[in-house]
Amino acid sequence: MEKIRVGIFGLRRGTSFIDEIRYNGGEIVAVCEKDTEYLQSIRDRIGCASVYTDFDEFLKHPMDAVILANFFPEHAEYAIKCLGKNINVLSECISNGTMAEGVRLCEAAEKSEAIYMLAENYPFMDFNREMKRVYEGGTLGKIYYAEGEYNHPMDWYDTKAVLSIRPYEKHWRNFLPRSYYLTHSLAPIMSATGSFPKRVTAMPVYAPLPEDCPTASHVADVASIITILNDDGSVFKVTGCSAFGAHWNSYRLCCERGQIENVRGTDKIMLRYNDWQIPEGREAVNFYTPDLQDEDSEQIKNAGHGGGDFLVIKAFFESIRTGKPHQFDVYFATALSSVAILAHRSIMEENHPFDVPDFRKKEDRDAYREDTLSPFWLSDGTPPSYPCCSNPDYLPSQWQLENYR
Q: What is the pLDDT of residue 250?
A: 95
The distance in angstroms from the start CA to the end CA of the chain is 50
Task: Annotate 285-354 with DSSP letters as a single string.
Answer: EEEE------TTHHHHHHSTTTTHHHHHHHHHHHHHHH----SS-HHHHHHHHHHHHHHHHHHHTTT--E
Name the pTM for this structure. Answer: 0.96
The domain 4-118 is placed in CATH, from the list 3.20.20.140, 3.40.50.2000, 3.40.50.720, 3.90.1640.20, at: 3.40.50.720
Q: Is the pLDDT score of 1 beyond 60?
A: no
Domain boundaries, the chain: 4-118, 123-292+330-368
Q: What is the pLDDT of residues 247-302, one digit of tens each?
A: 889 999 999 999 999 998 888 999 999 999 999 989 999 999 998 887 877 777 76
pLDDT per residue over 22-69, tens digit each? 999 999 999 999 988 888 888 888 887 899 999 999 999 999 999 999
The average confidence (pLDDT) of the chain is 94
What does the DSSP 8-state code read for residue 369?
Answer: T
Using the predicted structure, report yes or no on whether residue 322 has a pLDDT greater than 70.
yes
**CATH of span 123-292+330-368:** 3.30.360.10
What's at 218, amino acid-wise? H
Contact call for residues 73 and 374 (beta carbons, < 8 A): yes
pLDDT tens digit sequence for 56-111? 999 999 999 999 999 999 999 999 999 999 999 999 989 999 999 999 999 999 99
Model confidence pLDDT, tens digit, residues 178-221: 999 999 999 999 999 999 999 999 999 999 999 999 999 999 99
